[in-house]
Amino acid sequence: MSEEAGPLADPVAEGDRIATAAFERGIPLRLLGGVAVATLCPSSRQDPLRRQYADIDLATVGPSREAVRRLMEELGYGEDREFNTLHGHRRLYFHDPRNQRQVDVFVDEANLCHRIDLRKRIEIVPLTLPLADLVVLKLQVVETNEKDYLDLCALFADHDLSDDDSGINQTYIATMTSSDWGLWRTLGLTAERTAEFALHLPDFTAGEVAAKRLQRLRTALEVVPKSRAWKLRARLGDRKRWYELPEEVH
């Protein structure tokens, strides 16, 4: 189907259409969130990890904002001009009137429960953020819901840990937390809860694989050398809140 035909009804197919169009034009615009997981993980499209997808989330970098706005208009999207004028330095918002769906574009970073800088990672792979970044963006959610657990289980069931971006880059993830106790705490807690969720999946084989890989990631987080700042913050522990509650765009 041509781009002029407008947004597709299937959010996964539509996410692929947007990301492919951006890649072909050399625009650093990459999928993240559930649609990115569905793109990279076959198990996410089958029971017991199958789920419904609603909106599409993407990431870009500041210098490409205007190119992204032009592309989204070309692909059949309207934009919230007031929001994008006020907040476009960190986030852009577009809407699909045909399918009643929204598209959020994070600019430079995802500032949710924790601030995750995406600028140096945006062009490592063609259509999505790298696996490690998808994992971090899911694990950093403090108030995790079933959709997050299913996405994480799909990522860890389908992809092994590695020391580079050919798999889930555990070295990159562990290094991120070596000077940030709060991020380390959240990732470890969410990984533990996800492993428990995985072991209760109806498909025990996939769940067991995911749980074992999550445990290996937790081990990597434990053994990575920690900075002085990390050790100072660790003294306070859970007595002081270490995360933010993500804001809602609309």
Q: Which residue has the tokens 């615009």?
A: 29
CA dist., res. 167 & res. 131, Å (int)? 7
Phi-psi domain of 41 (left: phi exceeds 0; alpha: psi -120 through 50; beta: other): beta
Label residue 227 by pLDDT band (50, 70, 90): very high
- Closest of 138, 137, 133, 113 to residue 122, by C-alpha: 133
For residue 22, give the amino acid letter: A
Label residue 202 by pLDDT band (50, 70, 90): confident
pLDDT digits (tens, 9 = 90+) for 65-113: 999 999 999 999 999 999 999 999 999 999 999 999 999 999 999 999 9
Label residue 250 by pLDDT band (50, 70, 90): very low
- Angle formed at CA 195 by CA 191 and CA 196, multiple of 5 degrees: 120
- 132 and 169 Cβ atoms separated by less than 8 Å: yes
- Closest of 221, 121, 133, 236 to residue 179, by C-alpha: 221
Helices 170-177 and 181-199: crossing angle in degrees, nearest 10, is 130
The H-assigned helical ranges of the chain are 11-24, 33-40, 65-74, 81-87, 131-139, 146-158, 170-177, 181-199, 204-223, 228-236
CA dist., res. 178 & res. 188, Å (int)? 12
The predicted pLDDT at position 132 comes to 98
Say what the pTM is: 0.94
Which SS3 state, helix, strand or coil, does residue 44 take?
A: helix
Label residue 249 by pLDDT band (50, 70, 90): very low
What is the separation of C-alpha 13 from the centre of its chain, rounded to a whole number of angstroms? 18
For residue 136, give the amino acid letter: V
The predicted pLDDT at position 203 comes to 72
Q: With 80 as the cut, is the pLDDT of residue 248 above it?
A: no
Phi-psi domain of 6 (left: phi exceeds 0; alpha: psi -120 through 50; beta: other): left
CA dist., res. 114 & res. 188, Å (int)? 14
